[in-house]
Amino acid sequence: MVDLHALLMTTHIVALGGSLLRPEEAEKRSQWFGQLRQLAVHLEGNGRRLGIVVGGGLPAREGITLARSSFTEPYRLDTVGIAATRLNATILQQSLLDIGCNVCPIIPHSTDEAAELLLEHNFVIMGGTTPGHTTDAVAVALARDSGAPHCVIATNVSHVHDSDPRTNESAKPIEEMTLAELAEITGLEALGPGESAAVDPVAVKWAIDSGMRLAVLDGRDLTLLEDAIEGRPFVGTLVRTE
């Protein structure tokens, strides 16, 4: 019989930015995958359940750019982006299956389906679901549907900043904030197909609606992800509900 309470305490949900799968230098790519595989073995050994929602990264941007030369309907462009997230999810799923981890062999199409599958597998890996948001929002929905205590957003910046660090050199990192403060930075309006932000505004809205704490951290360093999953203090931004 499944002990639901114990299961909820050990279930964690991570949005893994698509750019993390493809560091610029080839050497770093195999290093990152190697570290992720090690972390997976360790987490499975500790009885953790992990729902991983993988972003589309480069294939999503390339696919959406290519598709734009033929059509501009946002719903269709988002559908192309979703296909790229599922491609990246498949790469990660196969990488963990390859080392014998208890990974769900299906890439779910919805967060309810993924939450059900997490009852049977240590790892459920998925990509996007429906048009109109990014995989950050899918991860928040999966955290809500699987009763996880918080949702980790692993991206390629160290923290949420008070302004965009890509365009403003003096942008300051924030260590702790509320969801309402995060919403002031990101807004709550959906992004267009392929557009990106520190955290997807739809994810912020859904986190507010479901009272979901967020941990935003740099997924290039997987020790930070492990800290957040194991409930240790982590380097990054903790976004409290209030």
- Which residues contact ligand UTP (rule: CB under 6 A)? 17-19, 55-57, 60, 77-78, 81-82, 85, 128-136, 138, 193-194, 196, 200
| Rounded least distance, CB 88 to ligand UTP, Å | 8
Q: Report in angstroms how near the CB of residue 136 gets to ligand UTP at its nearest.
A: 6
Nearer to ligand UTP, 11 or 135 (CB): 135
Ramachandran region of residue 107, left (φ > 0), alpha (ψ -120 to 50) or beta? beta
Which CB, 44 or 140, lies closer to ligand UTP? Answer: 140
Pair of tokens at residue 22: 């493809």
The phi and psi torsions of 183 (rounded to 5 degrees) equal: -65, -30
Report helix, strand or coil for 131: coil
User: Min. distance of Cβ 77 from ligand UTP in angstroms?
Assistant: 6
- What stretch of H or E contains 174? strand 173-174
Nearest distance from residue 4's CB to ligand UTP, in Å?
27
Start-to-end CA distance of the chain, whole Å, equals: 36
Question: How many CA atoms lie less than 13 Å away from 37 in the CB half-sphere?
Answer: 16
Closer Cβ to ligand UTP, 132 or 165, answer by number: 132
Identity of the residue, 122 or 155, whose beta carbon is nearer to ligand UTP in the bound complex? 155
Q: Decide whether 121 or 220 has the Cβ nearer to ligand UTP.
A: 220
Q: Please calculate the CA angle 164-14-140 and round it to the nearest 5 degrees.
A: 75
The CB-of-5 to ligand UTP minimum distance in angstroms stands at 30
